[in-house]
Structure 1
Amino acid sequence: MAFGNADKHGEKMNIFKNVRFIKIVCSCSVLLTTGVVFLRLIAAVIPSIQTMIIAGLLDALPRSLPNRQFAGVLGPLVALFAILLSSYLVQALNRFLMLKLSMRLEDHFKPEFVGKISRLSYEHIENDATYDLLERAGTDLPESIGSGFVNLMDLAEISLRILGPVLIIARSSAPVAVICLLLMIPIAVLAQKSGTEAYQATAQIAPHARKAKYLQSLMSSREATAERKLFGYAAKINGYWNNEMRQKIALDYAADRKIFIRAKGISILFTALLLLITLIMIMIVRQGLMTAGTCISLFITFSQLVHVLSWQLSDLLKEYTNKRLYLEDLDHFRQLAEKPASDGIPDRAILDMPFESLIFDHVSFTYPQTEREILHDFCLNIFPGKQYAFVGRNGCGKSTVIKLLTGLYDNYCGRILLNGRDIKSYSAAEIKAYLAVVYQDFAKYQLSAKEALRLGNQDLGEQELVVLLEQTGLARKVESFTNGIETPLGKLESGSMELSEGQWQRLALARCFGRGARLLVLDEPAAALDALAESKIYQVIRNIGARRHTCTLYVTHRLSAARTADEIIVMEDGRVIGQGTHQTLLTQNAHYAEMFHTQQKWYLKKEAAEA
């Protein structure tokens, strides 16, 4: 998604779009938001009040010092102390309210974002553009919303700080106040351009910074250590990193130089305007329309605004542009289609219904935003008590069958009937309970084995956990840990234990077996295991299926694994081109026989090479 296009298109229409941040924050807490807005308004007005108090003090000093009558000075001094104390208290209270508001934003938007993600239609999960959108809109969502609100308050405060002295001048001469206000416009325009340029520079630098960060992770991460040593690519990657960093630094320098020159130009312009305003105020003083104390106090106040207008305002306007584009991403994210009730917990009541049949009735399917038909008139009947293995070349539609069965996509033609009833008529919660699934890219939860197995299986007892670990060949490994089944897995915590890829896969299978589902659906369930371990896992799958009188469907590329299945489904171009046992297909299906003998030759060559 091009930020540049979004920035130019409809810019005038969306210039005040960021005001929505107030509405969004109010949805969490009207009271806290009102409190923060009120305090920021007070903070914006305090400098003007302070200017008037200092003016009164300066006017009182010439009258009080010669006569040593300090009663006239005491009042302004007390008022000045009170306003300084008020400023400190307002800042402290504002920090406290913002902390409370940040906590409310965290409590409100984190669950809302996670819930939205869990309800998204699966087409968005597999879409690269949507994934990038989720990265932009979802990264530190509460913090982004909070900082957008603070940015708006900062701009409002600066505007009031500029307006305050002008209103003080208006008390003495309205035409002069109007002239001062008009003189501020060129500075504001220059600051706005500087902010836009800074944002555009950041957008140019971002790709190089992102790539440099990735390359740095390749050179330093623990995960890449083995390959760095094996292939010796560190020097080459370091060269790529240096190249990206040189480009980033060059763009950084060019942008910083341009912004610095623009900021200094604003400072010089404002200093010139300040001199002009001071001369005008001196003329007003000579006419008796303004006191000398007020003139001096206003000069000090305007001098303090030089840094604000030359640097701070540019940075705030840059952030304002960034937050406006963030709101567009957030709106786009909120409009993404959802699958209703897909984030509900499994409805285990459906497990009382025994599995009778699963029928794919002339199913055809094309992935969203593509033209190629992945499944074409796909027909298949599946019955209980059997293992079904799906085999075929890459892209033939094996994993797509699993996605349709598990409800990840429902925009297909034809029908899928579970126990004679259209699968679309079942709720997402019922499908979750009836099917237990292990995908090829399974999650590695860095929890203890006990916690990982109980994810989605909270009712599992201690003995049942032990049985699951024994069935999947993990019992001895887990028993060897310091705290046994309570030991944290992975690398996240101190004292945690890492598992091999095959052991992580066994743990995912154990979690699947613990579900008590009527249908086991496995996508490459033993891809990370060696041949012997693979054979044992498939025997465990068979035993569990037989004991529960259920059915297992699994996708595999290894025909040596498929040969143990009761039925092998051979797929090509989205259709079933063969079905039967291994021996039957070897003699009656040339496509299957060719795949099997090709793999067999490869394994024989590998064994010979190893020998």
Structure 2
Amino acid sequence: MNSLLLRIRPFLQTLRYALSFVWQSSPSLAVGSIVVRVIQGLLPLAVLYLTKLLIDAVTESLKAPAQDASLAPIATILVGLAVAAVISAMLTVVSSLISRIHAQVVTDHMHALLQAKSVEVDLEYYENARYQDTLHRAQQEAPYRPTSILNSLLQCFQDGISLLAMAGILWWLHWAVIPVLALTAIPYFFVRLQQSNRLFAWERERTPLERKAWYVNMLLTQATAAKEVRLFDLGPRLRDWFREARTVLRRERIALERRWAFAGLAAQIVGVAGVFGVYSFVAVRTFHGLLTVGDLVMFFQAIQRASGFLEGLGWSVSNLYESNLFLTTLNEFLSIRSKLPEAAQPRSFPAMLGQGIAFEQVSFQYPHEERVAVRDFTFTIKPGEHVAFVGANGAGKTTLVKLLCRLYDPTSGRITIDGTDIREYATADVRGAVSGIFQDFVKFQVSAKDNISLGVKAPEVGLQAVVQAARQAGVHEAIERLPKGYESLLGKLFDGGHELSIGEWQKVALARAVLRNSQILILDEPTSAMDAKAEAELFERFHELAQGRTAILISHRLSTVKMADRIFVVDRGQIVEQGTHDDLMSRQGLYASLFLTQAQHYQ
């Protein structure tokens, strides 16, 4: 009993959870669906009764003398059946229309929830394979499962009302008919429940393989890897990988379907035996004169419909159970909480930096990794100071930017802005004070104007401000050469788009950062795709636009950081040197060695 309650309680909670989504998306459509289903549930009772009256009326008219026969009662009943048929057809159309409209509304509502949660969760989750599995399952199931639950529940309601009506008719025949039909329907119901459990377990287990197939398909069909696929002739190998994954998934799913088909057939045979047993009972009573021909037809139809409603009720309940299982995945996803706690009473972020930024014994280790990314970072950056962090790839330079933007919290130590731990500020305020571009910046496939204006929260950004930012980043002339100027679509994802060079894309990203006008400007390998002349021009502009703001430059190209006020040399997660370019060269340490190594390629 306790185990049954343990199963029923989560089922009811998830059911209520799903219905709340449906109701929130559109209360009026939900009410409309309920009203229509109630009427549809009661209509079969009226049709059956009218059918009985029609057959009895025809039978009586055949017995009566020709001169006394009248078509009026038959015509009246036929009109009633016709009206019922028209109402049934209208309700079917209305029900289908409401269901389709509601499905679209609920799907959009669920996408909005998934997107809101996806934006809310920490960056850490995006670097976690288990999170990606959970997200994939939620994206696959969540958009349609709440609507499926509503439709299954409404179908249960409709079938339940119709079944009660049929039960009333069959009680009139004999009370034992009802439990006989119910008992013969139980095996099919349990087969469906078992099927739902196995399907859920299988899909959960196979999510990583399904994601692998999806990923390989993306490599084959999207522009991301198009050049490498053709250059290295990767098509056959990738198609083999996809085929292998899909073969495993298909073989296992077909085996499950085959097993369910045989189990379902056995269960339906039991149901058919019960129905024909009751048919025989009705036929014998009619043969002995205890029932009229109209009674015979009415009871036959009532038995047939009751059996169908029982099967439909079992199907709907099992669908509810299945959707309940799959919605636990959505619940898992929506229950994800940030690991970056917000201060109970966040402090006001300074309008202008007074003391600057300080890292105090900051260490950080990425989750699920053994390597320490940064160790005991201790340094200060004064307001308006331009500093650079240099070192080999993987030294920990980009990690410190993630920590400053509070995409992660330090494993130990603290980061302060104007003497206050950044965890005491609202996260949105911290991130709002920082602007910049990462090495893996996004190429938004929208207009040039929108590409740049995405840097600010304002819904409408004037073209003049966008143009000014583009001029500062050195991309204005490139945009002006496009057919529609700043209204031109960038990228080739959509029809009519125009592709830019890598360097031009990087300048667009820089313009986006400039437009934000934040107090702290970060450039993470900002010139890796530019030639030497363009690089020199950009840094001249950079120093101009960064005047009065704190600037952090991350680079492995040392020629780009000579003009920084201070340079920090990072090696294996630690700051090993700091000073101006001249200071560091005079020490003849790691910086001088790296600089001279790079410089010899230009001699």
Identify whether the pair has TM-score above 0.5, normalized to the shorter chain. Answer: yes
After TM superposition, the structure 1 = structure 2 runs for residues 11-50 of structure 1, keeping only pairs within 5 Å, are: 11=7, 13-20=9-16, 21-50=18-47
Gaps of 5+ in 2: none
After TM superposition, the structure 1 = structure 2 runs for residues 116-195 of structure 1, keeping only pairs within 5 Å, are: 116-138=117-139, 141-162=142-163, 164-195=165-196
Q: Deviations over 1:310-332 (max 9, x none)?
A: 8x778756754442133212222
Q: How many angstroms apart in 2 are the aligned matches of 1:213 and 1:419?
A: 47
Q: Give the direction of change, closer, same or farther, for the CA distance of 1:74–1:562 in structure 2 (3 Å limit).
A: same
Q: Deviations over 1:107-165 (max 9, x none)?
A: 65554444333333443344332233233324585544223322333344445555543
Q: Give the direction of change, closer, same or farther, for the CA distance of 1:307–1:198 in structure 2 (3 Å limit).
A: farther
**Which residue matches 1:472?**
473
Greater Cα offset, 315-324 or 523-532: 315-324
Q: How many angstroms apart in 1 are the aligned matches of 2:371 and 2:209?
A: 35
Say which SS state the counterpart of residue 577 (structure 1) adopts. strand
1:383 aligns with 2:382: yes
Q: Deviations over 1:146-195 (max 9, x none)?
A: 23322333344445555543332112221232222222222322343345
Q: How many angstroms apart in 1 are the aligned matches of 2:21 and 2:52?
A: 41
Q: How many angstroms apart in 1 are the aligned matches of 2:513 and 2:208?
A: 40
1:59 aligns with 2:56: yes
Greater Cα offset, 211-220 or 473-482: 211-220
Q: 1:360: Cα distance to partner? A: 1.6
**Which residue matches 1:455?**
454
CA contact (8 A) 2:134 2:329 kept: yes
Q: How many angstroms apart in 1 are the aligned matches of 2:544 and 2:373?
A: 33
**Which residue matches 1:529?**
530
AA aligned to 1:386 is: E
Q: What RMSD in Å do the two structures reach over aligned CA positions?
A: 3.6
CA contact (8 A) 1:195 1:315 kept: no
AA aligned to 2:473 is: T
Q: 1:278: Cα distance to partner? A: 0.7
Q: How many angstroms apart in 2 are the aligned matches of 1:524 and 1:71?
A: 91
1:555 aligns with 2:554: yes
Q: Deviations over 1:509-549 (max 9, x none)?
A: 11111122221022222233344433333332222123xx2
Q: Give the direction of change, closer, same or farther, for the CA distance of 1:498–1:291 in structure 2 (3 Å limit).
A: farther
After TM superposition, the structure 1 = structure 2 runs for residues 488-499 of structure 1, keeping only pairs within 5 Å, are: 488-499=489-500
Q: 1:468: Cα distance to partner? A: 2.7
Q: 1:486: Cα distance to partner? A: 1.2
Q: How many angstroms apart in 1 are the aligned matches of 2:440 and 2:320?
A: 40
CA contact (8 A) 1:386 1:545 kept: no
CA contact (8 A) 2:149 2:323 kept: yes
Q: Deviations over 1:210-242 (max 9, x none)?
A: 544443443343443322321122222333334
Q: Give the direction of change, closer, same or farther, for the CA distance of 1:387–1:326 in structure 2 (3 Å limit).
A: same
**Which residue matches 1:94?**
95
**Which residue matches 1:408?**
407
AA aligned to 2:440 is: D
Q: Deviations over 1:56-90 (max 9, x none)?
A: 32233211234332334234323322222221222
AA aligned to 2:328 is: E
Greater Cα offset, 39-48 or 455-464: 455-464
Q: Give the direction of change, closer, same or farther, for the CA distance of 1:441–1:314 in structure 2 (3 Å limit).
A: farther
Say which SS state the counterpart of residue 27 (structure 1) adopts. helix
**Which residue matches 2:269?**
268
Q: Give the direction of change, closer, same or farther, for the CA distance of 1:436–1:15 in structure 2 (3 Å limit).
A: closer
Q: 1:494: Cα distance to partner? A: 2.5
CA contact (8 A) 1:379 1:575 kept: no
Q: How many angstroms apart in 1 are the aligned matches of 2:203 and 2:433?
A: 50
Q: Give the direction of change, closer, same or farther, for the CA distance of 1:463–1:71 in structure 2 (3 Å limit).
A: closer
1:323 aligns with 2:323: yes
1:71 aligns with 2:67: no
Q: 1:462: Cα distance to partner? A: 3.5
AA aligned to 1:148 is: I
Q: Give the direction of change, closer, same or farther, for the CA distance of 1:291–1:503 in structure 2 (3 Å limit).
A: farther
Q: 1:259: Cα distance to partner? A: 3.4
1:83 aligns with 2:79: no
Q: Give the direction of change, closer, same or farther, for the CA distance of 1:159–1:561 in structure 2 (3 Å limit).
A: farther
Q: How many angstroms apart in 2 are the aligned matches of 1:442 and 1:126?
A: 17
Greater Cα offset, 442-451 or 75-84: 75-84
Q: Give the direction of change, closer, same or farther, for the CA distance of 1:401–1:331 in structure 2 (3 Å limit).
A: same
Q: 1:279: Cα distance to partner? A: 1.3
Q: Give the direction of change, closer, same or farther, for the CA distance of 1:208–1:133 in structure 2 (3 Å limit).
A: closer
Q: How many angstroms apart in 1 are the aligned matches of 2:36 and 2:14?
A: 20
**Which residue matches 1:518?**
519
After TM superposition, the structure 1 = structure 2 runs for residues 268-287 of structure 1, keeping only pairs within 5 Å, are: 268-285=269-286
Q: How many angstroms apart in 1 are the aligned matches of 2:218 and 2:139?
A: 22
AA aligned to 1:511 is: R
Q: How many angstroms apart in 2 are the aligned matches of 1:593 and 1:13?
A: 68
Q: How many angstroms apart in 1 are the aligned matches of 2:316 and 2:203?
A: 14
Q: Deviations over 1:461-488 (max 9, x none)?
A: 4444333323323223212211111111
CA contact (8 A) 1:166 1:181 kept: no
Q: How many angstroms apart in 1 are the aligned matches of 2:574 and 2:147?
A: 52
Q: How many angstroms apart in 2 are the aligned matches of 1:314 and 1:444?
A: 51
Q: How many angstroms apart in 2 are the aligned matches of 1:412 and 1:208?
A: 33
AA aligned to 1:177 is: I
CA contact (8 A) 2:170 2:302 kept: no
Q: 1:596: Cα distance to partner? A: 4.3
AA aligned to 1:39 is: V
**Which residue matches 2:591?**
592
**Which residue matches 1:4?**
none
Q: How many angstroms apart in 1 are the aligned matches of 2:208 and 2:317?
A: 22
After TM superposition, the structure 1 = structure 2 runs for residues 200-219 of structure 1, keeping only pairs within 5 Å, are: 210-219=211-220
> What's the TM-score, normalizing by structure 2?
0.85
> What's the TM-score, normalizing by structure 1?
0.84
Q: 1:304: Cα distance to partner? A: 6.3
CA contact (8 A) 1:172 1:290 kept: no
Q: How many angstroms apart in 2 are the aligned matches of 1:479 and 1:461?
A: 16
Number of corresponding residues: 589
**Which residue matches 1:571?**
570
Q: Give the direction of change, closer, same or farther, for the CA distance of 1:284–1:592 in structure 2 (3 Å limit).
A: farther
CA contact (8 A) 2:489 2:497 kept: yes
Q: Deviations over 1:363-385 (max 9, x none)?
A: 33344566654443321111244
